[in-house]
Amino acid sequence: MAGVDIGRVGVERVEGWGMAVGSTVRVVRPRTVEQLRAALREAQSAGVSLAPRGTGCSYGDASTTRHGWSLDLTGMNGIHDFDCGTGVADLEAGVTIRQLWRTALPQGWWPKVVSGTMFPTVAGAAGMNIHGKNNFKVGTFGDNVLDLDLLLASGELVTCSREENPDLFHAVIGGFGMLGVITRVRTRTTRIHSGEVKVKGISCHDLAEMMAYMDAHTGEADYLVGWVDAFARDESLGRGLIHHADYLEEGEDEDAARTLTLAHQDLPTSILGVPKGEVWRALRLFNHPAGMRLMNAVKQVAGRMEEWQGFYRQSHAAFNFLLDYVPDWKYAYSRRAGEGLIQYQAFLPKERAHEGFVRLFEEGHRSGHTPFLGVLKRHRPDPFWMTHAVDGWSMAMDLKVTEANRASLWEACRRFSEICLEVGGRFYFAKDLVISPDAARRAFPAERLEAFLALKAEVDPGGLFSTDLWRRVFEGDPEGASHGPLGAEACA
């Protein structure tokens, strides 16, 4: 296919968001479906695999590749259409959630599902079937996709929806890029009458209190999320702060014309007088167990004060994208290649979730790998084949990775996985770097997994699409990141 334009090409280090895995590879950046199709053919002629990638916001190895080329779709980022009457958005794969909300909000709409950061692309969001703080209410990102276009390894472009190619639709959403390249996504948004939400903080003495409050409010709340102090023990184990947020009704915001402007959503440029871009350096001073124990304790006290305040208003961006307040906060963990953080997010069925989370925290304390941050969410099931969603709860736990602790951390995560599996839990590949092939096999229903693998063999018989995650979990790659320290190639 010499002479056919495949878009911009380079050789770069491509990492997982948490920085604990990455390698130097050829990166191909098509800007059109034609360039993308040509890139697929060129990879096939060269006998290499392609790892589809959005903005690389998956914490682990879901969009990295040691072997083959990285297929960066961020250049395909046009907004085909936004219908301000229905709130339906027709988007190219690389459009980010940030682009989407900035288009929708001034017209009185907000994305149905957003992650804790605004930077993922819509194809990456579909590829992982992401969830927000409102999963119990509106389902996952996939639940709100109307249809999408998928470029298969054969070069054929197919539209997938609940009616058209329904198997592909239910397998591609949450199918971590292994069935083809999503080129277009059509999704719903939510009608809003204000640029703000009403937020209330609820300080909780332990995990049971936190789960009881959230369970009691899933019927009426629009968003519920719990921050958990993972250092607390004994009768305080799982203490923390819930944020409960609701949309404003029509007419409730007398200043809606102003709050629905983009200027009102912009996050502040400094925090306590420090330019935002420098704040991670200050956070670095606390990025060790003693520092994080202190920060969690301070937050617990601040949470009590927040509760006394009652409901207050916050812009949609400030409420949803708290983590974006501090750019590059991950660098507080490390700036060395192969070090950083992993997030372990356990999804547990409601019947045994409390028991499972208590055991996870106790295992963290016992092994010396206490998460620096815990985040609790309520979920509901969905119909996607490889979904992580359960009728239950998830706890996302941030864990520091250093060269010295890597082997023992992986061993602790192996025990975390045993606990999850014992209580009937699942894992989430957007956050994963540690799950073994055996744990994955036990976590997902056998018939779903088999159907997914059969569909992969049918639509990608030559194995054109492959990532480090795929090889680690589904092909049992002995060099996979789950098997201890990174090799030299990965740290190049």
From the list 115, 134, 259, 265, which residue makes contact with ligand FAD (rule: CB under 6 A)? Answer: 115
Size of the site for ligand FAD (CB under 6 A): 32
Closest CA to 253 of 199, 200, 195, 191: 195
DSSP secondary structure, 93-153, as one string: TT-BHHHHHHHHGGGTEEES---SSS--BHHHHHHHT---TTHHHH--TGGGEEEEEEE-T
Taking the least distance from each CB to ligand FAD, the nearer of 121 and 300 is 121
Please, are residues 466 and 176 in contact by the beta-carbon 8 Å criterion? no
Q: Which stretch binds ligand FAD (CB under 6 A): 42-50, 117-125, 246-254, 435-443?
A: 117-125
Regarding 125 and contact with ligand FAD (CB under 6 A), the answer is: yes
Q: Which residue has the tokens 């959403």?
A: 173
From the list 57, 105, 237, 390, which residue makes contact with ligand FAD (rule: CB under 6 A)? Answer: 57
**Residues 6 or more apart whose Cβ sits within 8 Å of residue 232:** 206, 238, 239, 296, 300
Please, are residues 486 and 338 in contact by the beta-carbon 8 Å criterion? yes
Taking the least distance from each CB to ligand FAD, the nearer of 58 and 334 is 58
Tallying the residues shown for the chain, one arrives at 492
106/409 Cα distance (integer angstroms)? 45
From the list 39, 40, 89, 93, which residue makes contact with ligand FAD (rule: CB under 6 A)? Answer: 93
DSSP secondary structure, 17-62, as one string: TTBSSEEEEEEEE--SHHHHHHHHHHHHHHT--EEEESS--SSSST
Taking the least distance from each CB to ligand FAD, the nearer of 177 and 226 is 177
Regarding 79 and contact with ligand FAD (CB under 6 A), the answer is: no
Regarding 177 and contact with ligand FAD (CB under 6 A), the answer is: yes
Closest distance to ligand FAD from the beta carbon of 265 (Å): 18
- The per-residue b/e assignment along 301-317, b for 16 or more CB within 10 angstroms, e otherwise, is eebeebeeeeeebbbbb
Chain-centroid distance, C-alpha 79: 22
Closest CA to 156 of 175, 185, 181: 181
From the list 32, 44, 77, 117, which residue makes contact with ligand FAD (rule: CB under 6 A)? Answer: 117
Closest distance to ligand FAD from the beta carbon of 282 (Å): 19
Q: Which stretch binds ligand FAD (CB under 6 A): 128-136, 290-298, 454-462, 477-485?
A: 128-136
Taking the least distance from each CB to ligand FAD, the nearer of 230 and 375 is 375
Q: Which stretch binds ligand FAD (CB under 6 A): 7-15, 58-66, 197-205, 309-317?
A: 58-66
Taking the least distance from each CB to ligand FAD, the nearer of 354 and 431 is 431
From the list 66, 131, 243, 354, which residue makes contact with ligand FAD (rule: CB under 6 A)? Answer: 131
Q: Which stretch binds ligand FAD (CB under 6 A): 173-181, 305-313, 404-412, 450-458?
A: 173-181
Q: Which stretch binds ligand FAD (CB under 6 A): 54-62, 230-238, 244-252, 280-288?
A: 54-62
Sheet with strand 8-15: strands edge to edge: 8-15, 22-29, 69-72, 50-53
Regarding 22 and contact with ligand FAD (CB under 6 A), the answer is: no
Taking the least distance from each CB to ligand FAD, the nearer of 260 and 373 is 373
Regarding 124 and contact with ligand FAD (CB under 6 A), the answer is: yes
From the list 63, 70, 296, 417, which residue makes contact with ligand FAD (rule: CB under 6 A)? Answer: 63
From the list 109, 176, 344, 427, which residue makes contact with ligand FAD (rule: CB under 6 A)? Answer: 176
**Which tokens go with 280?**
């991670």
**Which tokens go with 172?**
């591609």
DSSP 170: H
From the list 35, 58, 203, 436, which residue makes contact with ligand FAD (rule: CB under 6 A)? Answer: 58
176/453 Cα distance (integer angstroms)? 12
From the list 394, 467, 480, 490, which residue makes contact with ligand FAD (rule: CB under 6 A)? Answer: 467
From the list 54, 87, 356, 425, which residue makes contact with ligand FAD (rule: CB under 6 A)? Answer: 54
Question: What's the chain's Rg over C-alpha atoms?
Answer: 22
271/123 Cα distance (integer angstroms)? 32
What is the bridge-based pairing of β-strands 69-72 and 50-53?
A: parallel
Please, are residues 83 and 100 in contact by the beta-carbon 8 Å criterion? no
Taking the least distance from each CB to ligand FAD, the nearer of 58 and 259 is 58
From the list 9, 33, 271, 323, which residue makes contact with ligand FAD (rule: CB under 6 A)? Answer: 323
By the criterion CB under 6 A, which residues form the site for ligand FAD? 17, 52-58, 62-63, 73, 93, 115-117, 120-121, 123-125, 127-128, 130-132, 176-177, 181-182, 323, 430, 467
